Each structure stands twice: as C-alpha cells, then as structure tokens.
Amino acid sequence: MQLMEMEKSINKWAKDHPEANIKNVSYDDKSVIFQIGAKRFKIEEVIMNKKYFIVKTEPIERLKWIDKLNLLSIQNDISVSRILRTIVKNNVEPISKEYLTQKKKLELYDLIVSSHTPVDKFPELKINKLFPKNVIADMIINEYIENMSNDNLELNLLDNNIYCWEVKLKMSISTVIVHIYFNDNYYPNYPPIIEVVSPNFLNNLSYRISNSKMFNFHYWNPSNKITKLLNRVIDIINKWGVVNDKSSVLHPIEKKIAILANYVNNTIDDEIDRDINFIPYLNLIKVIRKNNHNGTGYLKDNASKVWNVEEYLNIKEQQKQKIRTLILDIIDDIKKEDISKINKILNRSILKGFINEQLDVPLLEIENNKNYDAYFNLLDCLAKSETISFFKNGIYDTLKKLKDESENALRYNKNNRLAKKIILLYNTVDTIYNEETDTCTDSIEETDSKYVKTMKQYKLRLIQIRVGNHYYASHYHKQMPAKTIQRLSNEIPALENSLPIADNSSIFLCVDEEHINFMKVLIIGPPDTPYENGCFIFDMFIPDKYPNVAPNIRVKNTGNVKMNPNLNEDGSICLSILDTYVGDTAKGSEKWIPQISTIYQVLMSIQGQILVEKPWLNGVEHYSTYDDKMSLDYNKGIYGYTMQYAMIDLLDKCQYPEFDEVIKNHFRLKKEEILNTCKKWADMNKTLKSKYKKLKLLLSS
C-alpha cells in the first residue's frame, strides 16, 4: 500500500469514526503519522517475505499492547482499520467515546434533511405507519451508532444518506459487502432491502439471501434489529457461501434480478431457510383462531385487527408495479445483449423459478394482474431468441397446463381473449421447444385409488341442469352481463384442477351449459365428522354483480332440520365469506373480498369449516366456552340426520339426477366403510338402529 493511499485510508476511517479523535494525519518517506490526544503514532509498511505493518509511538515507548499488535501483524495479514481500532481502544477514554458518539449522532441528524429512500428500491407503499418519519430516522441512526462499535464490520453511509448503508463484513471466506436500504416512511413495519453486492457467490446465493424469509415482508417481524439481520447473512454465507472465482462482479441483469428477489412472495422452501421455523403472517391468524375456538362465521372482533385487508391489497399492488418495471427492464436488456452470454445467468437465477411460480395459477388470477403482459412478453422474447433451456424443467410443463385450462375456458366463452393469448404463446414456445427437445413419454405409475379413478370423471361437468327444482330458478332466463361471463369463464376452468377428489372427501360441481352462472354442488362429508361420507347437495347461483358480491348458495337436503349452527332448516347458510352473517364479529379476512374471494374458497369453507368434527363450536353462543359432553351430544343428533337425509333418502329415490351416477358410485365403492361408520353411530345412539338396518338393506340391493 502506498503511503499516500494509507494516509487517505486513515483519514477516511477517522471521518467515519469521530470517537477516535484522530488528528494531523500526514506521511513521510517511511510511515504515516497521526495524533490521538497528546500521543503521536506511526504506522510503517514493511515488505520482506510478505507485507505487514509495524506500529510505533513518537517518541518511542515500549508498550505491551503495541508489542502484541505488531506480533499479530507479522503473523497474520491484518488490515489498517483493525490496527486503528486497536490503537483507539487503548488510548481513548470512555467518557470521550461517549461524547464523540453523541457528536456522530448530531452529524447523522444533520443528514436527515438531505436523506431519502431510493425511489428505485421500494414501491410507493400505502400501508399503516407505525411511527412518524422523525422517529424512524432516530431509530435508524441509533442502530447505526450501535453497529459502529462492532469490530467484525465496517459501516458507511452511501452518498451520505442515512437510509442507505454499506456494510463490510470481515469473514474468513472474504470481505463481504452488503447494502441495506430502509424505507423512510414505513420502517420497521416494512423490512429493509438487503443486497449482497460482493463477492459474487455460486448457486444464486446473493439472490437467495435477498429473498430469505427473514427479510421477506410476508415473514417480517418489525422487532428485528439490524444486528440480527447481519448475523443471519453471516450464518447463511458461512454455511452456503462459495465464491465465484470466474466472475467477481454482477452482470447488470443479475443486479435487476437481485432487486426482483426482494419482491418475490417467498413460498418456495429454500434450504438456506430450513434451520429456522419461519411462520407466515397469515398462518399466525389461523393459529390465533384455532386457539380461540371461534365458530365459522363468528370471528371475534379483535381478530380483524390482525390482518388489514386494504393494507395487504395496497402492498401487493405496489409490489406488482415494481415487479412489472423490473421485468420490462430485463426484457430490454435481453434484446440488447448477446443471448449466449446471458443464457447461464438467466438459467441459474431466481427469475426462472419466479416465472414458473407465476404461471402456476388459475386464469382468474392472471386476468386480474397486469404483470402477466410483462411475463408473457418475456417468455415470447426468450422463445424467439431460442433460449430453450429457460423453458426446461418446469416452465414448459406449467405453460402447457395453462394452455389446457385456456382451451377449457373457451368452452364457456368463445370470446375469451386471455385464453386465446395464452394458447398463441404456448404454440410459439412449443414449436421451438420441440425442435430441440426429444419429447419423453415415460409412463407414469398409477397411484390413484379405485375410488378416485372412478369419481374424478364427475369432478366438473358442463351439462344441462334440471332447472325446475333449482332454488334460484326464477333467475334462469335473465341474460348475464359480459363481465360476469368473462369472470366465470376464467374462474370455472381452474376448479378442474383445484376441487378435491380423494378417498376421504370430495367436491363435485355441475355447471349449466346454457347459463354458466347456474350450478349444483355435491360435497362429501369429511372423515371423523358427524357428516362423514354423507352426500350434501347445494344449489348455487352467481349474481350479475359478481365478484363484487358473493355467490348465492343453499343446501337442499336438510330434511327441514338444523343440521349445523351454520346450516338452517330452510337451506340458508350462515357464513361470513357469503356475507350471510351480519354482525360486528364478521370482519377482516372472513368476509367476501371481491379482489381475493372465489367460488373455490366458498366451497372449501363449507367443506372445511362447516362440515367439521365439532360443529357445536360453530354456534355463536358457544365459541367462548368449550363443553366436550354437550359437543358429543350434539353430534349424536347429527349422526341420524346424516344417515337419513344425506344417505338413505338419496339411495331410496333419485332426487338429483345431475348427481345420480356420483351418488351410486360413491355408496357402491364406500359401502363397507360407510356401514362400519354408521354402525358405530348406531352403537352410540340406540335410536339409530332402525336407520342403520334400512341403510344396510339399501346398500345390499
């Protein structure tokens, strides 16, 4: 190191560490000289078999700590900054340190006016602020001061901006440079952005760190301190870090992808996060509800404060805008670059997994997200550039599945422009993909049970529904608005993949071929519930204002009895997502939300939250207490209703021709299982013996 460079380095370090009180830095022909208080020090650079530094006082004093420092310097390649820290540690009085720390604070406060969050790092968030801006600045400055005393790192501000830090972590693998960006309006409610700038690690580690769950909004804990975040970065690098010797810096596209990593909804199980049990924000809500024994549709008032729906949607929309801009920038870069040079970058980056994850969604979600124009443009650009490797191992298969769903959507609406666009994109990719890829048609081992193989053909059918006995028959001849047709033509095909058909519980849906807003549903009662293996029939009608209003749905085979606190004698259903429970407790994420809620969620809510193991708890008067005996007694009554109205009546005569084959096959294939369950019920409730005998007779005929 040249003496002039060393002088500059010491001056810079002194500026960043005012508590050191280093003054009068100069150099002569052999050393750099500086003063701390009344003492003068010299640092000489010695080059023999290797380079090292020697520290002396002027006039020369024999001090043990200097001898120890010089010996350490000879034995190990230690930096000038470490030497300076040791000198300061042995010469600055504690009271002086405290005073100069306050002085540094004042200097940082002077920077507040000129400091701001970089506009290219954060979306314009519209979420609740935990603290006013001056308090946020104070918190960040205090954290900066706290970390200044950490001997394992060097801390600097980027462009004298208190919201932009550069951290140099001194690690055995290398000096790791990390940039941290804070949001000046929403920290600590919104996490800082963490970017590993150098060195360039193998296996996308820089991206993966940026996208680690600890720094991801969906897992973010506002109480996290920067020290904890940096320790997490160190832990990950120590365990997974391998420096890329061939490329020490990031390509411009890699930098954009690194920023993109901060906006990815991290649902992927990355092995770097498996050592910590991260709980997503929304999962915490489920834990709270479970512990409170809340009934379906009867959410406690304070639970609505756990998830602010409007805040959540605003955050998601702003993140989408930022992602869209980044994708468009990446497309521009791809068009300018030699594709052979960036092919490896694209294939090893998170971009591939991110796009695959974005494509693996229903048409409905695509229709409501402007970002998909950018995603489709990216895929079209890559296909025309013949970057076939990007489509292998995931994207091609996912796109094919989306194409199949689009073809299905055209059955419901021949004018579905989105479906046509996806099919056109797939055909472009498919033509090039199959020119260079040997199509492999290995046989897939059949794992479905006999029941699933038989029943899955009935999962979703477009048929002529018998309207006469449909509860909403009076609406049948009304013409549907074009928007409703478009929405349903994108939503219904997704049910082909999402509706469950399984040995333990299934949902079957019939859609009228002329009026696709008329539907009939059959839900099989889940195991270990008083509804087990019963067939529950529902009439459903999608109103003109859908999705701004919830679907209309009624249960048909109630037998004019109340089979559940949420299922009334007249077939009406009390459920918050249907907006059929009115009260202060029906708030938050339980309500129908036009931007989020779907037919699928309604059906799954009925199956999973009404047809439950302990329906007694669904009663509004019961959710704050729990009585096991009363719950069991309630179930004993339900056993009889299920046997009579969801089994015997359906076998005795054909009341619902749309599901005639479903009902026959269900009871044929599950005969022994159903009889065993009903015998247990009859043993628990002796009044059910006659029903059990009749059911056994019907199943034997």
| 171-185, 320-334, 442-456: least confident range | 442-456
Yes or no: say if 688 and 682 are a contact pair by the CB < 8 Å rule.
yes
Model pLDDT, residue 624: 55
Residue of 267, 270, 258, 430 lying closest to 345 (CA atoms): 258
For 549-562, write each residue's pLDDT tens digit. Answer: 999 999 999 999 99
Decide if 537 contacts 510 (C-beta within 8 A): no
The predicted pLDDT at position 511 comes to 95
Given this model, what pLDDT does residue 293 score? Answer: 41
- Alpha-carbon distance of 410 to 420, in angstroms, equals 8
Q: How far is CA 274 from CA 277, 352, 522, in A?
A: 7, 22, 40
- Residue of higher predicted confidence among 188 and 51: 188
Quote the CA–CA distance of 510 and 471 in Å, as a whole number. Answer: 15
| Span 219-232, pLDDT tens digits | 888 888 899 999 99
CA distance 470 to 463: 14
Give the rounded percent of residues in the chain with a pLDDT score beyond 90: 35
Which tokens sit at 685?
């409730």
Q: How many CA atoms lie within 13 A of 605 on its CB side?
A: 25
d(CA 474, CA 468): 9
| Predicted pLDDT at 287 | 45
Per-residue pLDDT, 1 = 57
Give yes or no for residue 144 having a pLDDT over 70: yes
pLDDT for res 95: 46
Least confident of 88-92, 374-378, 537-541, 566-570: 88-92
Tell me what the mean pLDDT of segment 273-282 comes to. Answer: 68
Q: Is the dihedral of CA 336, 340, 344, 346 positive or negative?
A: positive
**Cα-Cα-Cα-Cα dihedral of 308, 314, 319, 321, to 10°?**
170
Higher pLDDT, 117 or 436: 117
Strands 460-463 and 507-512: parallel
Helix axes 689-700, 628-643, angle to 10 degrees: 40
Please state, in angstroms and rounded to a whole number, the distance separating the CA atoms of residues 211 and 264: 7
The pLDDT mean for the chain works out to: 83
Q: Maximum CA pair distance of the chain?
A: 112
Residue type, 192: P
CA pair distance 297, 566, nearest whole angstrom: 8
Report the alpha-carbon distance of residue 643 to residue 288 in Å, rounded: 34
Beta strands in 485-605 (DSSP E): 507-512, 518-524, 535-541, 552-555
Q: Which two tokens stand for residue 203?
A: 């296996």
Positive or negative, the CA dihedral 391, 395, 401, 402 is negative
Q: Tell which phi-psi region holds residue 297, choosing left (phi > 0), alpha (psi between -120 and 50) or beta.
A: left
Rg value, the chain, Cα = 33
**50 class by beta-carbon count within 10 Å (0-12 exposed, 13-18 middle, 19+ buried):** exposed
pLDDT (0 to 100) of residue 680: 95
Nearest alpha carbon to residue 115 among 165, 181, 160, 179:
160
pLDDT tens readout for residues 34-91:
998 778 899 888 877 777 888 888 887 778 888 888 888 887 778 888 888 888 888 7
Give the integer Cα–Cα distance in Å for 238 and 529: 49
Distance CA 289, CA 307 (A): 12
What sections of 627-688 are H helices per DSSP?
Answer: 628-643, 649-652, 660-669, 671-684
Mean pLDDT of 457-479: 92
If pLDDT is split at 50, 70 and 90, which confidence band does 584 have? very low
Residue type, 696: K
Region 257-274 average pLDDT: 68
Mean pLDDT for 656-680 is 95
Residue 18 in contact with residue 107, Cβ under 8 Å?
Answer: yes
Q: How confident is the model at residue 527 (pLDDT cuts 50, 70, 90)?
A: very high
Kindly report the CA angle at 348 between 345 and 350, in degrees rounded to 5?
100
Confidence check: pLDDT of 384 > 50: yes
* C-alpha to C-alpha distance for 527 and 462, rounded to whole angstroms: 29
Looking up tokens 């991801």, which residue turns up? 216
Q: Which residue has the tokens 């507040």?
A: 112
Token pair recorded at residue 293: 């024994």
* Cβ atoms < 10 Å from Cβ of 571: 17
Contacts for 47 with CB less than 8 Å, ≥ 6 apart: none
Instruction: Answer for the pair 50, 63: CB distance below 8 angstroms, yes or no.
Output: no
The residue that leads in pLDDT, 436 or 629, is 629
On the question of pLDDT at 582 being above 60, the answer is: no
Position 464 pLDDT exceeds 90: yes
